Chain A
């Protein structure tokens, strides 16, 4: 039993999309955590803050909730972005991973999530599929995704929409 078996067992959500743009173009968007609300439908804002303990991001969702995340790694060499949800849900384990690699038609983007417990699996699966389409629309067509509602974040907190 090697890493592959362990990896496949853990990954609960995996969606892929080929985007007709160079890996560097796609990666420049993916690697900027404050820009995720531009391409993730239903994400109202994405605010990044650096603290002495790391890089954190607060997502405001269209349904009126907030998701607190920690940016785990931005690997420019491998073009791999990793983060984990730290609240308000009490997840025993979460890891989100977006990877951009070259493809004959441009770039292959893979968006994966590992989580425990599993209640959010199907929610994230559908949202991730929408998000990849949103990423394509932003990179190729310059169209930002719809957030459906106005942000409620206080002025000056930032946000990318």
Chain B
């Protein structure tokens, strides 16, 4: 009997994007169905809130300081151990389709193997598995980039090469141009037909690869959708699904300007400085866009675009699952669905992401539909878990001993199992050094319904500030308890837990080699 793992990731997707998590806009019946028959995690957190560090954690099962990818643009070392490598060495067939981003995207001289594969159309690294995957076909956020999807579009649909939003501007900074009906940044009306949009292309490539496998093969397939990450440019033909004018503003969006700015001032200095256009700490948010200019209608339009993309993902996943089911493989199939990090999407009056450790960016969808043959009952786990736990979970499913170099532990499948975990706290870190001169460092622990973030000294902070959020009493994270004397003992305990969790920072950090 073969064992099969389908690992599905989206990019920059909020917890409330899914119906099973209380989402009221996008229709996501496929993932909702997986959750109903599997385990749904109420509080899954990434170890970093941007793509490359988070994806490196998913692949290695390591904390940021141990795999070394501390910021976007830092490539995962070529010799980094990976769970895909373990599985492939154990005889599993391994494939990744969609967005990898273990190596930088902006790479004019093709210094990185994944970009060389994307440009040449190779599906492995000169005949060898790349990072443990025997077959990889990449897609990014549009028709450009050094990815297989870009080559496919150039060959088959050159008429749509310019239909997508250009992620970068003429200076190679992230594009701040607005579009759509409201002039929202990174929004564009895209005439590309749905059938050739990257969401369906990713599913098509995975289906094609699975079609070449035999019933006896153990396989691990990472289906990695680039959406709903900005730019927000789903096919025009799909805009009728969620008319933006019909949407309510998100609960997390303070529509009153004074209320919004008072709430930002209660947080660390970097929040307000970014809002006012006085700080660039994350290349992926357009440097020339000032968050204070965001309007309520722009929030609605971005929200609608993201939810349309979420629906397309759900439908593409459903198509792939039907294919797997038609092969008679469903009973032995484990499906895990998650994302790499969240998105503000209007929360706190902001868009995109950055050094902000709040639920918008940290609380992620995570669903594990165990193989029906395991007999694991449907459940909901409320205790915090991390993306660092995914790779050990894959090992456990495969019957491979979790290696010492992995920091995580297999995901619990019941609340009781979660309560018995050795160390129930989850760690999230942020480090950024921007060549424009800003430097921000955050370390966060999530435990017992609290999120505690310590700021290290940088260009925005003295090193004594922080955030303390009560997830139960203050779900919108408006009241920062860091300086509340009543909570001082609790804060000290959480900081001690943080210190116990944090690995040593590498003496010689890896160099950043691209902005993204």
Contacts and interface: CB of A to CB of B under 8 A. Distances in A.
Interface of A: 12, 40-43, 61-65, 67, 88-92, 117-123, 125-127, 130, 148-149
A20 B104 CA distance: 32
Top-6 shortest CB links A-B: A42-B109, A126-B513, A62-B110, A118-B435, A90-B170, A121-B435
B434 to A, nearest CB: 8
B208 to A, nearest CB: 25
19 contacts: A40-B109, A63-B108, A63-B119, A65-B108, A67-B108, A117-B171, A117-B173, A117-B287, A119-B171, A119-B173, A122-B435, A125-B511, A126-B513, A130-B109, A130-B111, A148-B119, A148-B120, A149-B119, A149-B120
A84 B434 CA distance: 23
A113 to B, nearest CB: 11
B73 A148 contact: no
A122 B109 contact: no
Contacts of A148: 110, 116, 119-120
A63 B435 contact: no
Contact of B172 (A40, A119, A130): A119
Which among A43, A90, A119, A148 has the highest number of chain B CB atoms within 10 Å?
A: A119
A88 B110 contact: no
Contacts of B514: 122-123, 126
Given A122-B512, A148-B116, A89 B172 contact: yes
Contacts of A149: 110, 119-120
Which among B107, B110, B434, B512 has the highest number of chain A CB atoms within 10 Å?
A: B110
B146 A63 contact: yes
Interface string B142-178: 0000100000000000000000000010111100000
Nearest to B433: A122
A62 B117 CA distance: 12
B328 to A, nearest CB: 43
Interface of B is mostly: loop
Given A63-B146, A89-B172, A91-B171, A122 B108 contact: no
A56 B435 CA distance: 29
Contacts of B168: 119
Interface in B408-453: 434-436
A123 B172 CA distance: 11
Contacts of A126: 111, 511, 513-514
B253 interface: no
A62 B170 CA distance: 19
B119 A127 contact: no
B435 A42 contact: no
A125 B107 CA distance: 12
Nearest to A92: B171
Nearest to B120: A149
Contact of A122 (B119, B120, B515): B515
B283 A119 contact: yes
Interface string B84-115: 00000000000000000000101111110001
Given A63-B119, A118-B436, A123 B108 contact: yes
A85 B514 CA distance: 18
A17 to B, nearest CB: 15
Given A117-B287, A119-B171, A122-B515, 13 more contacts: A42-B108, A42-B110, A61-B108, A62-B108, A63-B119, A65-B108, A117-B173, A117-B436, A123-B107, A126-B511, A148-B110, A148-B120, A149-B120
B109 A43 contact: yes
Nearest to B169: A90
Interface string B252-296: 000000000000000000000000000000010001000000000
Contacts of B171: 89-92, 117, 119
Contacts of A121: 435
Contacts of A88: 170
A28 to B, nearest CB: 23
Contact of B109 (A63, A119, A125): A63
A62 B171 CA distance: 19
Which among B106, B109, B170 has the highest number of chain A CB atoms within 10 Å?
A: B109
B170 A89 contact: yes
